[in-house]
Amino acid sequence: MNLKNDLILRAARGENIERYPVWLMRQAGRILPEYRTVRASLSGFKELVETPEKAAEVTVQPVDLLGVDAAIIFSDILVVPEAMGLEYQMVESKGPYFEKTIKTEDDLKYAEFNFDVEDRLSYVLEAIRITNKELNGRVPLIGFAGAPWTILCYMIEGQGSKTFSKARKILYQNPTLAHDLLNRITEVTIQYLKAQVKAGAHMLQVFDSWAGILGTEQYAEFGLKYLDRIAREVNEVPLTLFSKGAFTSVEAIARLDCNTVGVDWNMDIATIRKNIGETRTLQGNLDPCALYASHAEVERLTNNMLNSFSSKRHIVNLGHGVYPDIDPEKVRTFIQTVKNYELK
Ligand code: CP3
């Protein structure tokens, strides 16, 4: 299938672009009333994720309604631990909750690591195939997975946390168990990402949402080591690594075999660019809260960010997922400002 708009793929590969591509993390979701209507017609978030036609429908919505330059498949990073046998519930206004967690070797009996990924996660792969039919080449489709460290956090902790101290405790008390799990998660994740490409994903992003809670050395040992393996083994399509909050590791991430490095809003684009050179694309990094400002201010802040870019190796996004109560009109102003910006 020929893509009519392949800006984001060209930006990821460091090729020439006419303007900066733009999309938003969590663009398929609660900011859109059209999403809430589809979700309300089902029993909840999980049914939406597990029903390929519906997941495809909400994946395409931001392309139609917001004019983004890429779609991201509607799913969740938690489908991977669930495929391993740790079922989760998405508790309304609270977040994910896992009944079973892994804290000792004995708990490994709850999880399975040798299974047919394409079979067990077939609903995601089917959603990718349907989405591409509906997109009909309008924009590329991004597939994704959680990074091994972030998935490990949920498998140990069982729910969200400010500190993930139960997960971090294991790194000190039983690093062997942590590495054993990280190895197994990495293997499944590589198979899952490759399966998404086979199903039609044009690009991939790995989310390490909890990278920032580890110190630099621990992140190298329990995070980067496994991202490195993923980046070396998954090279069919452009790959983005987003290690949120890992300020001190950005340069090490940029040395991994990826095309794009995600940058959150606490990181300074100009400094990072100076330190990594022009061999990688950067993605980010407007503060998601900036979209609470007035339209004029959103425009000003977005232009400021664009002015901080010194090359064409950029994909515009927020520094993290868009917050659910953001006015879609503000998102449109953000996107339009990027589209109006003249590349020098
Ligand atoms: O970006 C997109 O539009 C695609 C869909 C997507 C979702 N989750 C849908 C979702 C993606 C890429 C994710 C990734 C994800 N999921 C991450 C990594 C990115 C990040 O935000 O750091 C993480 C840590 C999760 C785990 C997760 N899923 C949590 C902690 C929560 C609850 C908190 C919240 O934001 O609501 C979810 C739920 C979730 N995943 C929702 C959506 C649209 C909200 C569910 C709803 O509709 O009520």
pLDDT tens figures, 252-269: 999 999 999 999 999 999
The number of angstroms, rounded, from the C-alpha of 287 to the middle of its chain's C-alpha atoms is 16
> H helices of the chain, where?
7-13, 33-40, 45-50, 52-66, 79-83, 117-120, 122-135, 148-157, 165-173, 175-199, 216-219, 225-233, 250-254, 269-276, 295-307, 328-340
Ligand 1 contacts CB of residue 220 (under 6 A): no
Which pair of structure tokens corresponds to residue 142? 């991004």
Q: How far is it, in rounded angstroms, from Cα 223 to Cα 216?
A: 10
Kindly tell me the number of DSSP H helices and DSSP E strands found in the chain.
16, 9
The number of angstroms, rounded, from the C-alpha of 280 to the middle of its chain's C-alpha atoms is 17
Residue identified by tokens 């001190």 is 248
Q: List the domain boundaries for the chain.
A: 7-340
Phi, psi of 4 (to 5 degrees): -75, -30
* pLDDT for residue 1 is more than 80: no
The helix (run of H) or strand (run of E) holding residue 329 is helix 328-340
Q: How far is it, in rounded angstroms, from Cα 323 to Cα 309?
A: 24
Q: Residue 92: its pLDDT value, please?
A: 87
First to last CA, the chain: 31
pLDDT, tens digit (0-9, with 9 covering 90-100), for 215-250? 999 999 999 999 999 999 999 999 999 999 999 999
Q: Residue 192: its pLDDT value, please?
A: 98
Name the closest-CA residue to atom 36, ligand 1.
95
Name the closest-CA residue to atom 7, ligand 1.
76
Helix axes 328-340, 295-307, angle to 10 degrees: 40
The sign of the CA dihedral 152, 157, 159, 162 is negative
Residue identified by tokens 């590495």 is 179
pLDDT, tens digit (0-9, with 9 covering 90-100), for 139-185? 999 999 999 999 999 999 999 999 999 999 999 999 999 999 999 99
Q: Under a CB-based contact definition with an 8 Å cutoff, are residues 30 and 99 in contact?
A: no
Annotated catalytic residues are 26, 30, 39, 76, 154
What is the Å distance from ligand 1's center to 161 Cα? 15
Q: How far is it, in rounded angstroms, from Cα 204 to Cα 238?
A: 6
CATH topology of domain 7-340: TIM Barrel (3.20.20)
Per DSSP, 93 falls in state: T
Q: Residue 42: which residues within 8 A CB-CB, separation 6 or more?
A: 48, 51, 54
pLDDT, tens digit (0-9, with 9 covering 90-100), for 101-151? 999 999 999 999 999 999 999 999 999 999 999 999 999 999 999 999 999
Q: Under a CB-based contact definition with an 8 Å cutoff, are residues 28 and 322 in contact?
A: no
Across 85-92, average pLDDT: 95
The sign of the CA dihedral 7, 12, 18, 23 is positive
Task: Tell me the sheet residues that pair with 248.
Answer: none
Q: Residue 344: its pLDDT value, please?
A: 80
User: Probe ligand 1: pick from 37, 43, 76, max atoms within 8 Å of CB?
Assistant: 76
pLDDT, tens digit (0-9, with 9 covering 90-100), for 297-331? 999 999 999 999 999 999 999 999 999 999 999 99
Ligand 1 contacts CB of residue 65 (under 6 A): no
What is the Å distance from ligand 1's center to 311 Cα? 31
Phi, psi of 214 (to 5 degrees): -100, 150
Confidence grade of residue 93 (pLDDT, cut at 50, 70, 90): confident
> H helices of 138-268, where?
148-157, 165-173, 175-199, 216-219, 225-233, 250-254
